[in-house]
Amino acid sequence: FRRIIVERLSSRAMVEGPNFYFGRGRQGDISRLARLCSAAHVALDIVEPVQVAGELVSSSRVREAIQAGDVDLARQMLTRPYRVRGMVTHGAARGAKIGFPTANLEAIDTLLPANGVYGARAFCPAGNWPAAVNIGPNPTFGETAQKIEAHLIGFTGSLYGQPLELEFLSRLRSIQPFESVAALKIQLAHDVAA
């Protein structure tokens, strides 16, 4: 506490929950932290846990919701939509050929939602747009590689080499193969409308 919190970080205040533990074997509890803070003139704010859907909100519960594709529950717990950031790279350009151009994202270093199609909001240097986002393979074209593709609704132009952020609003459906490109186009139109 003295070496890191007080000396290295020069902390003036801390915020913790009532069930906070620290130190070897989690021997330090919130009462001990309160005594240490008081002696070092560091303000301590103890916040009560928040519940969503009858369960305590925790970072592990948020991660579990995101990994399961439950971006609605994650949004409730985070109090804002879950967001990822990546760089737009070149893809196979199939989306553009069938009337649904996509920005293919790479270099995402945060947790991705489960494979599926999502309603999202896309943020880039040119502004922000509603988006339909596909996370996962493209089974209609026999591809198994994991991809993150975003169709920015109403956007025209090029985003190659630019950063793009996606804010996940709702999971629309699971990934599925279609018997033809025509059937895929019909479903994509439904996804965009949703």
- HEC profile for 33-97? HHHHHHHHCCEEEECCCCEECCEECCHHHHHHHHHCCCHHHHHHHHCCCEEEEEEEECCCCHHHH
Phi, psi (deg, nearest 5) at residue 172: -95, -40
pTM of the model: 0.81
* 52-103: pLDDT as tens digits: 999 999 899 999 999 999 999 999 999 999 999 999 999 878 888 888 999 9
Please tell me the distance from the alpha carbon of residue 151 to that of residue 101, in angstroms, as a whole number: 6
pLDDT at 47: 94
* 125-168: pLDDT as tens digits: 999 999 999 999 988 888 888 899 999 999 999 999 999 999 99
pLDDT at 145: 84
Mean pLDDT, range 21-50, rounded to an integer = 95
